[in-house]
Amino acid sequence: MKLENNTVLITGGSSGIGLELSKVLIRKGNKVIICGKSIEKLNAAKNAEPKLITYQCDLSDRLQCEDLAERIKQKHPELNILINNAAIVNKIDFFNEETAMELAENEYHTNLIAPIRLINLLYKTLRANDSSAIINITTGLIYAPRVIYPFYNSSKSALHSFTQTLRIRLKDEKTKVYEVMFPAVDTPWHQGNPPKIAIGVEKAVAEMLTGLEKDKPEIRVGGAKILYFISRLAPGFALKKVNQIQ
């Protein structure tokens, strides 16, 4: 796919991978729109990169999602790329967490329902424009889940499955469907304590963009590629190894 002269919506573009992606795509001559919950983070991103267009939106909330899509359709009808990047993770012991079900609902709404909703709301706008694409961000953990993230793994696995069927559904249409599986990446996601195997955010985004340029529908970045192969050859071993990561 071409990575210049697009109008791109990146959810969760105010931090980590989304923010790095925003900066690189602006440098390549794209119009980049980002959204996030925290106005402080959005303002900080805009200060660092004044060309960014920012919208505050809690994607876990249906009405706010609908409002965001409406504003995008009105103000940026030329939108041709949607990158569903925003996500959260709750690290919990399922049976020792009193609020487990509230956390589960919020996590599934943010990581799974919101991307599907945005695709549903914005597809007609995307397909009306040239070089349209939907890019969903998932993780190597779709191949081997970690016990400490009971909702995260499953929300991303479900998004992976949805993305596969979306690609088949749209195979005769102009809109391309991509999925990017990241390994551990050193971003604010890890709250200052990234796993030892985490890679830098610049490297992660560069690999993602190389994959998109080569038009790969599924882009497994770094360790996600290794985990994919191990999980195919020895699924039990992959599961064990992933749950030993420090």
Residue 143 found at the interface with ligand NAP (CB under 6 A): no
CA dihedral sign, ordered 71, 43, 185, 103? negative
Catalytic residue status for 152? yes
Ramachandran sector of residue 215 (left: φ over 0; alpha: ψ -120 to 50; beta: rest): left
Quick check: 243 binds ligand NAP (CB under 6 A)? no
CB of 172 to ligand NAP, least distance (A): 29
As a whole number of angstroms, the distance between CA 203 and CA 69 comes to: 31
Binding of residue 139 to ligand NAP (CB under 6 A): yes
Candidates 32, 69, 82, 88; binder of ligand NAP (CB under 6 A) is 88
Q: Indicate whether 222 belongs to the interface with ligand NAP (CB under 6 A).
A: no
Question: Would you say 138 and 80 are in contact if contact means Cβ atoms under 8 Å apart?
Answer: no
Q: Is 14 in the site for ligand NAP (CB under 6 A)?
A: yes
Task: Answer yes or no whether residue 21 interacts with ligand NAP by CB under 6 A.
Answer: no
**Residue 103: is it exposed, middle or buried by C-beta count within 10 angstroms (0-12/13-18/19+)?**
middle
Q: Is 23 in the site for ligand NAP (CB under 6 A)?
A: no
Give the whole-angstrom CA distance, residue 156 versus residue 163. 10
Nearest to 6 by CA among 150, 209, 199, 168: 209
Please tell me which residue in 55, 152, 178, 228 is annotated as part of the active site: 152
Residues that bind ligand NAP (CB under 6 A): 11-12, 14-18, 35-38, 41, 57-60, 85-88, 110, 137, 139, 182, 184-185, 187-189
The residues annotated with a catalytic role in the active site are 152
